[in-house]
Chains A and B, each alone.
Chain A
Amino acid sequence: MNDYKKIKNKTGIAKAIKSALTYFGLTLWGIAVLFPFYWMIQNSFKSFAEYNSESIPKFLPSVITFENFVTAFTAVPLGQYLLNTLIFTLATTIIMITVITLAAFAFARLDFKGKNAAFTLLLALMMIPNELVIITNFATITEIELRNTFLGLILPSVTSIFYLYLLKENFAQIPDELYLAAQVDGSTDFNYLIKVMVPISSPTIVTILILKIIECWNSYVWPRLITDDEAYFLVSNGIQTIRESGFGRENIPAMMAAVTVISVPLIILFLIFKDRIMEGVSRGGTKG
């Protein structure tokens, strides 16, 4: 009996040590994740003079100042960048969801010639990297003189075959009986789509919307190619401009303020919808 107690105690201690080590390791990575955000925020509240006088970086500002945020909005058109990004993000997302809802409905519910071939073609195109098609898109948009316009930014960013696929799978799960009942009631296909399918699939639609918003908000390559007029810059391009020339290269606190302003909207969106976002991504999303 004594031996048994000893063994039990031993495993108890081993378990406690193991669990402590696990928490320690996880906390370490948690710090690694959060630290850049902390550094960004705390430096955005330091004055320019204070930051530059620190030969050893300090972990907190001695005096909190908001001057960097004022500089961020006045020295560079940060407000303009944010507004542009908002317009781009909303327009792209709305057009995308309209287009894919119609297509997903056709694939999931309607019966017509060439449906399977069309769907296979789309699935095959899902493998094609964006880098391959962006060259021609650049040429196309340049040719029809849509550089430095919202249309030029938005149109090539709409296509998202993966989200179409996700929505089609969701639509396909809605039982046939509902459709047949609606047809008996004399409801048109379009009405059925809007009044029945979209509401039933709203969790998936919301997930898709949020993922697309994140993708648009962070997009960098296409906007960089297609805009060289500051009036159409998105936040990502804005950051690069700020970095290369914006506040004079040395004004790090103002840069950090700008970066904080740019990051906060997405972090808030994430905290509100974190379950939806994480579930959506784990269903096979990739980093856009």
Chain B
Amino acid sequence: MKINKNIKGWLYLLPAFAFVGVFMLYPLIDVLIYSFEEGYNFASGEFFGVGFYNYQYVLRDPYFLQALKNTFLLVIITVPSSTALALVISVGLSSIKWLKKAYQTIFFLPYVTNTLAVGLVFMILFKKTPYSDGLVNFFITSLGGTAIDFIDGAYWAKMLVLCIYTVWVVLPFKILILTSALASVDETLYQAASVDGTPENRVFWKITLPMISPTIAYLVITGFIGAFKAYSDAVALFGENLNTAEMNTIVGYVYDMLYSDGGGYPSFASAAAIILFCIVLTITCINLIVSKKHVTYGK
């Protein structure tokens, strides 16, 4: 009877573990092995030796360094700005009653749309072509500026568009989470403050912010993780050949190494993926330590 029970339990788990085993657990071990096999050949399955050559190669590859720089810039710019903007919008959203639901629905819309599809629209809004400067440039020139080629032009212009689009894409999730955090702040705290005649500014800094600080910490951590894995936003704006556009990201580098015109190097791809994982792990740990110091938890 007892053995029967165990078999039955595992029988229910079998399909899930078959998928997890083949497509998650095994690959996890395999990617480590790949990353240390030097000169691995996809077709023959042969390699020369074992060592750190793949890591050395990747860390010296100018394309990887470019991708590293782009990814870090993207992270440093978009995580703080999108979190701050989401906070401002959520506080505004929480203070209104009329049309609140409608605003909430609209703000969430980018979450469900295809990143590549809307990215194409962003590209057209910012793109400068021989016959038209595009809508964004129309506004810039009518304000007295000169038209800028955002898609094929200067590095900072391309980075700016990528950041704007990334913020647009990640904001719905942050607004949703922050709005529900704001709604769950204990009402009696606000009532107490209003009895004391506390100014609104002070209420925000001394009550609201500390009460939702765990949520902000959560959003910053997931924001960092998400931004480090940026890829399809860049593809949407600049096309699949991101190296030429100087807009590649670490994840983009992994996929290019694995499969594209210059692909067929799973060892380099694995090494780059593991470097990315280590970076994300380190940043997440730092985030957790910092947030432990500054976050007010529970009651």
Contacts and interface: CB of A to CB of B under 8 A. Distances in A.
B108 A36 contact: no
Interface string B258-279: 1100000010011001101100
Contacts of A270: 108-109, 112
Contacts of B113: 37, 218, 263, 266-267
A20 B89 CA distance: 14
B180 A282 contact: yes
B27 interface: yes
Nearest to B280: A129
B104 interface: yes
A112 B107 contact: no
B120 A129 contact: no
Contacts of B225: 129
Given A102-B15, A103-B15, A110-B12, A133 B112 contact: no
B44 interface: no
A68 to B, nearest CB: 14
A52 B104 CA distance: 36
Interface stretch (A2-10, A54-62, A195-203): A54-62
Contacts of A19: 95-96
Contact of B5 (A111, A218, A221, A271): A111
Contacts of B15: 98-99, 102-103
Contact of B117 (A56, A132, A259): A259
Nearest to B135: A57
A272 to B, nearest CB: 11
Given A110-B8, A135-B34, A239-B117, A129 B277 contact: yes
A135 B132 contact: no
Interface residues of B, number: 86
A52 B131 CA distance: 7
Nearest to A18: B95
Contact of A286 (B5, B135, B226, B258): B226
Interface in B147-173: 168-170, 173
B240 interface: yes
B243 to A, nearest CB: 15
Contacts of B103: 26, 30
A99 B173 contact: no
B125 to A, nearest CB: 6
Nearest to B115: A218
A159 B22 CA distance: 10
A33 B109 contact: yes
A135 B13 contact: no
B23 A103 contact: no
A239 B235 CA distance: 11
Given A125-B24, A269-B112, A136 B31 contact: yes
Contact of B112 (A239, A266, A286): A266
A140 B22 CA distance: 9
A158 interface: yes
A132 B277 contact: yes
A158 to B, nearest CB: 5
A240 B240 contact: yes
B83 to A, nearest CB: 15
Contacts of A70: none
B203 interface: no
Contact of A110 (B5, B27, B269): B5
Closest 5 CB pairs of A and B: A112-B9, A136-B27, A106-B12, A103-B16, A133-B27
12 contacts: A30-B107, A40-B117, A114-B6, A125-B20, A125-B24, A155-B19, A159-B19, A236-B114, A236-B116, A236-B117, A263-B117, A269-B112
Given A115-B9, A287-B226, 5 more contacts: A26-B89, A103-B17, A221-B255, A235-B117, A259-B118
